[in-house]
Chains A and B, each alone.
Chain A
Amino acid sequence: MNRDNSVRTSAVLEPQLRGTSPSGIDVPTCVDADAADASSVGRPGDYPFTRGIFPDGYRGRLWTIRQYSGFGTAEESNERYKFLLDKGQTGLSVALDLPTQCGFDPVHPMARPEIGKVGVSLSNLSEAEILFRDLDLSKISTSFTINGTAAIIYAMYLAVADKQGVPRKLLTGTIQNDILKEYVARGTWIFPVRPSMRLIADTILYSNDVSPRFNPISIAGAHVRDAGATAAEEMAYTLANGLAYVEELRSRGGDVEKFAKRLSFFFYVHMDFFDEIAKFRAGRRLWARLMKERYGAQDPKAQHFRFGVVCGGSSLVAPQPYNNIVRVAVETMAAVFGGAQSIFTCAFDEAFQIPTEFSAELAVRTQQILAYESGIGRSVDPLGGSYFLEQHTNRMEAQIIQIMDEIEAYGGVVRAIEDGWIQMRLAERGLERKLNTDSGFNVIVGQNQFRKDDEEIKVGEVFQLDPMAAQRVLEKFERVMDTRDNAAVQRALGRLSEAAAQDHENVMPYLVDCCHAYATVGEMVDCLKAQWGEFKEPVNL
């Protein structure tokens, strides 16, 4: 048995027990009732929804238990989905490979090394038919982590539903479809910012009509968070992006009472328990006020801030990997106290490999233990009214507003992203976080404090990607190319081109037609690139 360097707190750790939170919010030793200012907190289900959007919280409906999954070929992913549904998961979460995310067909030279690596390859309708084989799309909720090609993947999902005979209006699920944060932190952009905003408005407006139970966007803070943003910055950037989409939808004649009901959000939960809970409560209240006061939304559902979370991400580390199990459990509790509608739990080994069946199952079990054993979801917002939490929520809200004001002062998110201003801010924040981690100021147990120096990272089993998977993807692709009706594909692509050239035409129905004709993701993207051009990344460090 190895001996730890230290099991006692050292001088460097003392600041962690006092002072400020990671979001830079002052944390007093003790908060008294009069300082808490909980006067506006109200009841769960009451505007501005600080305590939750529903009066009965998780008693009415438990959060959706999800786990990110999907890799290699559609056949393998289909098997994995059946396994996870069997284990009690209530929604599917589909990861797509980078060629699919960036709009390259598997045969493209840029695609070859990346086929099936970080998710499943979904280059055309035949792959989607395999992916969802024997899964009843009217009964499962499917969440796609897809952005640059979100409109196309959504079109493909509609086409699969058509083929299965499932009415589109029964479909539930989410496409991430949040391009603004892609330019800032995740990098799967394709088109310039402005046509991308148009494409997103197209998907939302179309989805509101044909699949009203489907979430056509999940405005995500998770990626900027993982890149270095604090909890307050994560929420501020995300709300600012959300407002940009609202403005775009309104400029297209969208009705806020209708589209705002289908906007949803997505965040990471990191380790500072109260920063996270306060972040969600403050964000929920702010969004409701913005929707009502700035845009006049009257229907409570159009004021509701619905969000999913991922517990884990960059807060999970490779040294002493089993510590990550504890981290995920604590983060999941913060998500529950924050009132999340759906929760993904990362597997403890995700910091260094694709999760094994063992670690994937453990991640789902963590949520089930919290949901069904711990009782923390019995009463809505059980921490509401805590002097400290209410004060911390107020302070978090003030900080979020300040950051949003800075972005507006710059000229709004679209301009700040085109100029690379937000990207630069985030890179500097990332460097700061890294230096604070290196120095041990940001404590990560087992990595920069309480290390075992001679520790070797050991894990039980390592999941192996099938080395032939990419080859099979390519073979299937060639087969589809050989058997489809090429003239029909060209006609569908031609109509898509014409629609894309018209600013006020919605491209969605044309994309669905292209999918039905077995046009490929790469073909559809190339067709739109020809009309809209490509994003030029500002590389100003």
Chain B
Amino acid sequence: MKALQHSSLLASKRILIGKPGLDGHDIGAKIIALALRNAGAEVVYTGLRRTPLQIAQIAVDEGVDAVGLSILSGSHRELVTDVIEQLRVLRAQGVKVFVGGTIPAEDREYLLQLGVNAIFTAEMPLEQVVTALAESLS
């Protein structure tokens, strides 16, 4: 059994993990939140059923460096577009946006074009997710 790994790769980073829309599958979001915390980040988790505006507002209020959006319902195009738009309206373009969940290959380019920094899939090892975030936020 592998022990939970602790590191300081994300020390002093604040990260919001958000569940936009009606998708209720939150285990991925919670696993990522726990893994990022184990890597030293301060993590805020929104809980389920947040609107894009609510998520952008929490990101601003909490002064986070990054927002991770977890979406498994197939509504990622609409919801990610809206979150990025709301961050822009709130003048928080500096907050980096990451997406995880069930994202078909043909939608990846679309999301990256919108300004998403990286897309993480369920298969990707957590270590790789943490490293990618650390590099992106350094």
Contacts and interface: CB of A to CB of B under 8 A. Distances in A.
The answer to whether A and B assemble together is yes
B48 A114 contact: no
Nearest to B128: A438
A98 B31 contact: no
Contacts of B123: 317-319, 447
A439 B4 CA distance: 11
Given A113-B79, A187-B23, A537-B47, A436 B73 contact: no
B75 interface: yes
Interface in B78-114: 78-79, 102, 104-106
B11 interface: no
B40 interface: no
Nearest to A15: B1
Given A438-B125, A541-B43, A427 B34 contact: yes
B1 A441 contact: yes
B48 A187 contact: yes
B21 A110 contact: yes
A77 B67 CA distance: 36
A432 B2 CA distance: 8
B21 A98 contact: yes
Nearest to B1: A436
A67 B81 CA distance: 33
A26 to B, nearest CB: 15
Contacts, number: 107
Contacts of A197: none
A318 B121 contact: yes
B133 to A, nearest CB: 16
Interface in B8-57: 21-27, 30-31, 33-35, 37, 43, 45-49, 51
Nearest to B47: A539
Contact of A435 (B2, B33, B106): B2
Contacts of B5: 435
Interface in B102-138: 102, 104-106, 121, 123, 125-127
Contacts of B49: 102, 110, 187
Contacts of A462: 104, 106
B63 interface: no
A75 interface: no
Contacts of A182: 24
Interface centre among A98, A109, A228, A457, by most chain B C-beta atoms within 10 angstroms, is A98
Contact of A438 (B1, B30, B102, B127): B127
Nearest to A116: B74
B27 A113 contact: no
Contacts of B75: 113-114, 117
Contacts of A430: 27, 30-31
Interface centre among A185, A226, A318, A435 (most CB of B within 10 A): A435
Contacts of B34: 427-428, 431, 541
A226 B75 CA distance: 21
Interface in A416-437: 426-428, 430-432, 434-436
Tell me which of A99, A438, A465 has the highest count of chain B C-beta atoms within 10 A of its own C-beta.
Answer: A438
Nearest to A98: B22
B31 A113 contact: no
A41 interface: no
A368 interface: no
A101 interface: yes
Contact of B2 (A98, A227, A436): A436
B126 A435 contact: yes
A98 B73 contact: yes
A187 B24 contact: yes
Interface residues of B, number: 38
Contacts of A537: 47-48
Interface residues of A, number: 46
B27 A426 contact: yes
A501 to B, nearest CB: 26
B135 to A, nearest CB: 18
Given A99-B22, A182-B24, A539-B45, A117 B2 contact: no
Given A537-B48, A539-B45, A434 B31 contact: yes
Given A110-B49, A428-B34, A447-B123, A435 B4 contact: yes
Interface string A110-135: 11111001100000000000000000
A228 B46 CA distance: 21
Contact of B21 (A113, A318, A438): A113
A111 B59 CA distance: 23
Given A352-B102, A431-B35, A541 B30 contact: yes
Nearest to B48: A187
A539 B46 contact: yes
A319 B2 CA distance: 23
A188 interface: yes
A101 B22 contact: yes
A461 to B, nearest CB: 13
A346 B22 CA distance: 23
A381 to B, nearest CB: 33
Nearest to A539: B47
Interface in A460-494: 462, 465
B88 to A, nearest CB: 19
Given A114-B21, A541-B34, A187 B125 contact: no
Contacts of A426: 27
A228 B22 contact: no
Contacts of A431: 4, 30-31, 34-35
Contact of A98 (B4, B23, B35, B105): B23
Given A318-B121, A436-B1, 16 more contacts: A102-B49, A113-B78, A117-B74, A182-B24, A187-B49, A189-B24, A430-B27, A435-B4, A435-B126, A441-B2, A462-B106, A539-B45, A541-B33, A541-B37, A541-B43, A541-B45
17 contacts: A98-B23, A99-B22, A102-B24, A113-B21, A113-B79, A114-B22, A114-B23, A187-B25, A228-B27, A319-B123, A352-B102, A426-B27, A431-B34, A432-B1, A436-B1, A447-B123, A541-B43
Q: 10 closest Cβ contacts across the A-B interface?
A: A187-B24, A113-B78, A98-B22, A227-B27, A438-B125, A427-B30, A539-B47, A113-B75, A117-B74, A537-B47
